[in-house]
Amino acid sequence: MSLQDIINVTITRQTKAVSRAGFGTPMILGTNKGFTDLIKFYANYSAVLDDFLATDSEALAASAVFSQSPTVSQLAIGRRATDDNVVVTVATVSNSTLYTCTINGTAFTFTSDSDATNLEIAAGLVAAINAGSEPVTATDNSDGTYDLDPDVAGTAFSVKLDSRQTVAFTTSQTVGEDLSDIDQENSSWYGLILTSRVQADQEAAAAWTETQQKILGLASANADIVDVTDASDTTSIAAVVKANAYARTFVMYLSNAASQYPEAALFGVILSQDPGKYTAAFKTLAGITVDNLTQTQETNALAKYATIYVEVGGVNITREGTVGENEYIDIIIFVDWLQARLTERLYSLLVNNLKLPYTEEGLTAVEGEIRAQLTDGISAGGLAATPSPTVTIPDIADISTTDKANRELNDVEFTATLAGAIHKITVQGTVTL
């Protein structure tokens, strides 16, 4: 049974134009064997480098998150399910150089001679691995590559290589299946980042995220986002996300998106703050190269509700910070936060009392918790103090005997006004002598 089976809070966003820690935690999804669990949490970038090379996609995305100031207190890295077999290639041959393959935290090494070849290096590493006690068998392919396979099929193992070797993984599930498995193992994360820039993966992640209380950031260097008009573009990831009116996915255009992670950097900036205190627009992203776009290119991207990173008035900023349905990112996150906190508050009311009576006293207690949470929403900056939020509780005399017999309290409602944010200012003035 889930918490929602007992407390069911629904908030409708009438706007036009996770664990408590979870709202500040992004999760990077990659294809890797950096660890054996499906998901692992890291408190800083140095910890990420224990499992990944600085050039790995996971580390690049993590660096983008942790480079912001302030930034989040932790992030997670999730791994997609892959086939047992791992193919390692000795990509760079260097004389008299130490080569390392680390399996399950155990380093296996081979030092090349003064006349090195990739065949010799691969064979040396295979011999070292097979002489060890890790439950993994290495097979020399006699072509400068070697295979790694678990001794028992289906047994997870971690692999970390030096920068002169590359590794190939074969995914064994869909993106949605991988995300569901990871979320089942640990759901205490909120913002989703993909290392993949393959649009099919991005579309699959967007479809999955739409069914969750999470938010996905995507980035693309596809020039169609900025060079093709909104009316003509039907294929770019920005166009697809807009066409589906996705409320939980935002797309960032960046010409360097193949090697940089602007969406990760944006998560690092905004998720470090309490929901309600920020907007995703006008944010400077450390370590991200700004684009020099024409006015037409900016118009094309913004018309598709894509977020861009440009220089305005000598400052590098994000614009405009919207999801596919043209709602602002910060509103999606704040409403998720409000729903989660209200659910927790009402659940606490039930479990911390011997009984919540089905009386005026009990109904008043429910109303009080709702009002308290709305007050917290005002303090957080997400709700407006004026007009004041209203809470409507049914009169005890009007509640059906069926609801009373089933011990269900229905028809509890509230209205509140979002504080919103100012993204544009127009001033008209007159000066006279």
Q: What does the alpha-carbon distance between residue 149 and residue 128 come to, in Å, rounded to a whole number?
A: 15
Does residue 183 sit in the same domain as residue 305?
A: yes
Residue 294 lies in a domain: yes
Does residue 59 sit in the same domain as residue 203?
A: yes
Are 418 and 384 in contact by the 8 Å Cβ rule? The answer is yes
Does residue 285 sit in the same domain as residue 195?
A: yes
Are 336 and 344 in contact by the 8 Å Cβ rule? The answer is no
Strand stretches in 112-152, DSSP E: 136-140, 145-150
Residue 331 lies in a domain: no
Does residue 288 sit in the same domain as residue 344?
A: no
Does residue 209 sit in the same domain as residue 123?
A: no
| Element housing 181 (H / E) | helix 175-185
Are 217 and 252 in contact by the 8 Å Cβ rule? The answer is yes
Q: Length of the chain, please? A: 433
332: nearest Cα among 243, 244, 425, 210: 210
274: nearest Cα among 72, 95, 409: 72
Does residue 394 sit in the same domain as residue 372?
A: yes
Does residue 281 sit in the same domain as residue 208?
A: yes
| Element housing 19 (H / E) | none
Q: What is the largest CA-CA distance in the chain?
A: 92
* Domain end position, chosen among 136, 168, 200: 168
Residue 330 lies in a domain: no
- Token pair listed for 187: 């759901």
Does residue 287 sit in the same domain as residue 425?
A: no
Amino acid, res. 77: I
Does residue 143 sit in the same domain as residue 26?
A: no
Phi, psi of 166 (to 5 degrees): -120, 160
Are 224 and 235 in contact by the 8 Å Cβ rule? The answer is yes
- pLDDT tens for the chain, 433 residues long, are 666 676 677 766 544 435 665 799 999 999 999 999 999 999 999 999 999 999 999 999 999 999 999 999 999 999 999 999 999 999 999 999 999 999 999 999 999 999 999 999 999 999 999 999 999 999 999 999 999 999 999 999 999 999 999 999 999 999 999 999 999 999 999 999 999 999 999 999 999 999 999 999 999 999 999 999 999 999 999 999 999 999 999 999 999 999 999 999 999 999 999 999 999 999 999 999 999 999 999 999 999 999 999 999 999 999 999 999 999 999 999 999 999 999 999 999 999 999 999 999 999 999 999 999 999 999 999 999 999 999 999 999 999 999 999 999 999 999 999 999 999 999 999 999 9
Give the pairing of strands 215-220 and 191-194. Answer: parallel
Number of domains in the chain: 3
Residue range of the domain that includes 155: 86-168
Does residue 12 sit in the same domain as residue 160?
A: no
Helix (H, G, I), strand (E, B) or coil at 167: strand
* Domain end position, chosen among 300, 325, 350: 325
184: nearest Cα among 53, 255, 81: 81
> Which pTM value belongs to this model?
0.92
Cβ neighbours, 10 Å, residue 314: 5
Are 131 and 73 in contact by the 8 Å Cβ rule? The answer is no
* Domain end position, chosen among 140, 168, 196: 168
